[in-house]
Amino acid sequence: MSETPPLTDAPRFAYEGPVHWLEPIARALRKVVDPEVALSILDVGLVYRVTVQETHAHILMTMTSAACPVTDVILDDAYAELEQVLPLDMDIEIELCWDPAWTPERMSAHARRFMKW
């Protein structure tokens, strides 16, 4: 089991829900790596919004392109990581959206340094 990378930047997504879930969810999503760029989906800026209610967690996210060949891998990994931190009876929904489209401006400072941008 690998160690969770530190949260070097504040999460770059909107959050609505109990404050005690923000950090565990952010850490779980930070473990999910976009294999095409070898960076977490948070650093790439793929997560737009997380909403947590009593029995439901909704994650709104995108991919760098609609033709992303690793979408299923990223989604499966995100579900798996979230299941590790959220209660077993909490429904997890991950919704892909394409509007607004992803842009490189969504990347964290860490990702920009890594990509040498």
> What local confidence, expressed as pLDDT, does residue 43 receive?
95
- As a whole number, mean pLDDT of residues 50-55 equals 97
Q: Are strands 33-34 and 91-96 parallel, antiparallel or unpaired?
A: unpaired
- Amino acid type, 43: D
pLDDT digits (tens, 9 = 90+) for 71-91: 999 999 999 999 999 999 999
Provide the pLDDT confidence category of residue 101 given band limits of 50, 70 and 90: very high
Structural domains of the chain in order of their starting residue, each with its CATH number: 14-112 (3.30.300.130)
């860490």: which residue's tokens? 110
**Strand locations in the chain, DSSP E?**
14-16, 33-34, 39-40, 47-53, 56-61, 91-96
> What local confidence, expressed as pLDDT, does residue 22 receive?
96
- Which residue, among 8, 15, 9, 24, has the nearest Cα to 59 in the 3D structure? 15
> What local confidence, expressed as pLDDT, does residue 88 receive?
95
The SS3 assignment for 40 reads strand
Provide the pLDDT confidence category of residue 9 given band limits of 50, 70 and 90: low
DSSP one-letter code for 106: G
* pLDDT at residue 6 tops 80: no
Whether the CB-CB separation of 35 and 78 falls below 8 Å is answered with no
Provide the pLDDT confidence category of residue 11 given band limits of 50, 70 and 90: low
pLDDT digits (tens, 9 = 90+) for 12-50: 899 999 999 999 999 999 999 999 999 999 999 999 999
Mean model confidence pLDDT for the chain: 91
Determine how many CB atoms are found less than 10 A away from the CB of residue 48: 17
Q: Which two tokens stand for residue 91?
A: 């429904």
Determine how many CB atoms are found less than 10 A away from the CB of residue 63: 22
